[in-house]
A and B are shown apart, each in its own frame.
Chain A
Amino acid sequence: MTIDRRSFVKNTSIAVFGAALPFSGVFAQNRFAKYAGKTITINVPAHPHYDAMTKLLPEFTKETGIKVEIDKLAIGRLKEKQLLEMAKPQGDYDLACYIVMWKGEYVAKNLVHPLEPFFANPALADPAYDMKDIIPIYLENLGMVGGPKGYLAGPGAQLYGLPYGAETSVLAYRKDVFAKLNLKVPETYDDFGKALRILKEKSGMGALTSRGQAGHQAVHAWLLHLNPLGGSVFDDQWKPRFNDAQGVAALKFLQEVVATGPAGIPGFGQGESNTAFLQGQAAMYLDSTSFAGVVSDPARSKVVGNVGWALHPRGTRRASQSGGLGLTIPKNAKNAEAGFLLLQWLTSKAQDKAVTRLGGAPIRNSTMNDAELVRQYPEFEVFREALKHSNPDWRPIIPVWDRINVQALGIGISEALTGKKTAEAALNDLVPQVTQIMRESGYKI
Chain B
Amino acid sequence: MRTSRFTIAVYLAPAILVMAAACLYPVLKAFELSGYKWDMGTAASSAKCVGFDNFIAAFSNPQVWSSLSTTLLFAAVCVSAEMVLGIALALALERQVRGMAVFRTIFILPMMIAPIAVGLAWRYMFDAQFGLINALLGVVGIAPKTWLADPTLAFVAIVIADIWQWTPFVFIMMLAALAGVDRSVLEASRIDGARMWHEIFLVKLPMVMHVIAITLVMRLIDAFRVLEVVYVLTFGGPGNSTEILALHVYKTAFIGQQIGVAAAVSILLLVVVAVLSWAALRLSNPMKDSA
Contact = CB atoms under 8 A, between A and B. Distances in A.
Nearest to B144: A263
A420 B255 contact: no
Interface of A: 79-80, 82-84, 86-87, 105-106, 109, 111, 212-215, 217-218, 262-269, 272, 275-276, 279, 281, 402-403, 406-407, 411-412, 414-415, 417-418, 420
Interface stretch (B25-33, B37-45, B74-82, B199-207): B37-45
A84 B259 CA distance: 12
Given A403-B256, A406-B255, A80 B40 contact: yes
B257 A417 contact: no
Nearest to A79: B254
Closest 3 pairs between A and B when the two form their complex, measured CB to CB: A214-B237, A264-B128, A267-B148
B234 to A, nearest CB: 7
A33 B42 CA distance: 34
Contact of B40 (A83, A263, A276, A417): A83
Given A402-B257, A414-B237, A267 B39 contact: no
Interface string B240-273: 1001000000011011111000000000000000
B41 A266 contact: no
B51 interface: no
Nearest to A405: B255
A111 B236 CA distance: 30
B238 A267 contact: yes
Interface in B143-191: 144, 146-151, 154
Interface residues of B, number: 33
Given A109-B41, A111-B41, A263-B146, A214 B254 contact: no
Given A87-B41, A87-B43, A267 B147 contact: yes
B149 A418 contact: yes
B129 A276 contact: yes
B238 A418 contact: yes
A266 B39 contact: no
Nearest to A74: B116
Contacts of B39: 109
B238 A415 contact: yes
A417 B154 CA distance: 14
A221 B70 CA distance: 27
B229 to A, nearest CB: 14
A214 B41 contact: no
B41 A212 contact: no
A411 B240 contact: yes
Contacts of A262: 128-129
Task: Kindly name the residue among A86, A217, A281, A411 whose own CB sees the greatest number of chain B CB atoms within 10 A.
Answer: A411
Given A84-B40, A267-B146, A406-B251, A214 B234 contact: yes
Task: Kindly name the residue among A266, A412, A417 whose own CB sees the greatest number of chain B CB atoms within 10 A.
Answer: A266
A264 B237 contact: no
A213 B41 contact: no
A214 B252 CA distance: 15
Contacts of B42: 87, 109
